[in-house]
Amino acid sequence: MIVSVQESLHTSLDKIGMGVELREAGSALIKVNLASPAEPGQPRTDLRLLADVIQYVSQNGAHCAIAEGANGFLRQNIDNVGLGELVEEHDVAILDLDLEEFDCVTVDDEKHYLPKCLKDYPVRVGVPSTSKRPGMIFSNNVKLFVGAVPRHMYQLGEQTTWRPRVHIDLHKSVANIYRAIMMYAPFRYFVNGGNTMIEGQGEFNLCDTFVGTDGLELDCHMLLQLGVERPEYIKRLLGG
């Protein structure tokens, strides 16, 4: 299900059932793209959208957590982008997924390592940034979860600040991490909009914001909206 935000984000999230689930469940985890603050040509989760989602969770009586693998710097990143006061106001938990305990899940002969804390929050929301940077693959809802796996488990030899093992067969691993997440701790809500970077189009704010209940479906919708070809990992997930 995909809804274009016409009135307010809160109204649209109500339409896809998130408010009801929040009031029943009492807690929500928001997976963001904030491994580091945004830089020119490298957008991160739109801060206005993230703030709006945090406020929505709070207004529905649920406890909220922000999650991202940031190599131990997630709290610092949140402060650096100006969200520190909002996080304090709403008593938001900060979960740096690179530091959390994990379980191993095998998908399509690949072992992937998923933070156990994902299961602690019954409502799970993805708020990525949408981008197709030069020389990089399309990144939105599906690829968001590459930032959920602990980077120290994806090294090859000398330690780095990224996840080189994912890049051995990049599209296969991106697809399998998404499959693993959806098996282990499924995300049912996604919010797409705000700051965007598309190769050949530059950086801009999306005219429309969309919310949905299926990350793969919403990725396909956004690719069509932006005129970007489907990457191989999307085709894999669609069975093509």
The string of pLDDT tens digits covering residues 17-47 is 999 999 999 999 999 999 999 888 889 999 9
- Cα separation, 218 vs 192, in Å, equals 8
**What letter does residue 186 receive in the DSSP assignment?**
-
Q: What domain count does the chain have?
A: 1
Contact 129, 49 (CB under 8 A): no
- Cα separation, 163 vs 155, in Å, equals 6
Residue 49's domain comprises: 2-237
Specify the CATH number for the domain of residue 120. 3.40.50
Region of 53 on the Ramachandran plot (φ > 0 left; ψ -120 to 50 alpha; else beta) = alpha
- Cα separation, 237 vs 149, in Å, equals 19
Kindly report the pTM of this predicted structure: 0.96
The string of pLDDT tens digits covering residues 156-189 is 988 888 999 999 999 999 999 999 999 999 999 9
